[in-house]
Amino acid sequence: MAEIVLKGLGHSYQAEAKSDADYALKPVNLTWEDGKTYALLGPSGCGKTTMLNIISGLLSPSDGQLLFDGKDMTRASTAERNIAQVFQFPVIYTTKSVRQNLAFPLECRNWDAARIAKRVSHIAELLDLTDILGEPARRLSADQKQLISLGRGLVRDDVSAVLLDEPLTVIDPQMKFGLRRKLREINRATGITMILVTHDQSEAMSFADEVVVMKDGRVQQSGPPEQLFTRPQNEFVGYFIGSPPLNLLTAETSNGTLHCPALGLSVTMRGRGQDRGQDDGAKFGVRPEHVHLVEGRPELPRAKVERVENLGIERIFTLRTGTNETLKVKSRRHHSLRPGAETGLSVNDSDLLVFSDGQLVCR
């Protein structure tokens, strides 16, 4: 296991990068602590896999350094890094049994038979593979094959980190939850650092101690899942995290005060202009979970229900505000509200976020 530090690490697939636009991964500084779980989250083409391949040694960076426990590994070979990588599709030997697949990396390192048997037994128990150790790998389900692929990395006792490149994509949706839970259990049991690449926010948020959100080759924000949800540092993170995403609403300014007409709320901000009018650089953000629908209070700002999506215990309401803006609300209440009905809106001031030119403003 190792602490992994990215120090000004960046990469361009062009021979000579002349601007930020030429970088697939723009220079970044990150520290990943030993023994924790991390997720690289973002849309396709945002630089997640480029970063992962640099860490594993499959790609040499254009700029910066990669440190393992303070040792410069920027130009080290893949073998020297002792990294285990699990890919989107399971990499196993289908002609071998489960036991032989798990044992093979240790046989390549000339471990003796007794030591191999003990280690394979331990990893098989962690992964719930004990009962099928004698089975041919080709007969197994996709999630079992992916567990074997993971086990081939975990079976070594010198692994610095396990890199997971969208390993749940081929897994049945009903099995994904169980496999994510199993990965967390393995992390807690072994203390091995795990880094997951995914475009699925649910995977990232339920798996990782810390999520790194990326867009266009740049890290947008890094932090615990709850921090990304409650305090997104920019509009992209607010929109990308959460389902439904963050609501963004018009802001008006008057005498240094920002007013949200849709919600009937105002906040005092430093440095704002004195003239009344819409501030194109400022917007209010509020999570659908933080908007309360209040019936029987005509003095509150009003909105009209346009659509109701039933998610079982929860419902997602799409509303049209008095300012003709769309607002999403997620609630376990108000089962009687139907499209066409009107309702009042209430939001706690502490749940209201302010963005200026796309960036979160502290207030």
Flag the least confident range among 4-13, 275-284, 300-309. 275-284
Cβ proximity of 32 and 3 under 8 Å:
yes
CA distance 265 to 74: 51
Q: What is the pTM of this model?
A: 0.86
**Structure-block tokens of residue 75:** 């130009």
pLDDT band at 2 (very low <50, low <70, confident <90, very high): confident
How many helical (H) and strand (E) elements, i.e. helices and strands, does the chain have? Answer: 9, 21
**Residue 5's beta-bridge partner residues?**
31, 67
Q: Which pLDDT does position 1 carry in this prediction?
A: 65
Query: Above pLDDT 70, what percent of the chain?
Result: 96
Cβ proximity of 260 and 251 under 8 Å:
yes
Cβ proximity of 293 and 329 under 8 Å:
yes
Cβ proximity of 196 and 184 under 8 Å:
no
- Which domains occur in the chain, in start order? 4-240 (3.40.50.300), 247-360 (2.40.50.140)
CA distance 239 to 288: 11
Q: What angle do CA 175, 181, 186 make, to 5 degrees?
A: 125
Tens digit of each residue's pLDDT (9 = 90 or more) over 208-221: 999 999 999 999 99
Q: What angle do CA 343, 345, 349 make, to 5 degrees?
A: 170
Tens digit of each residue's pLDDT (9 = 90 or more) over 245-285: 999 999 998 877 899 999 999 888 765 554 545 556 799 99
- Report the DSSP pairing between strands 193-198 and 37-41: parallel
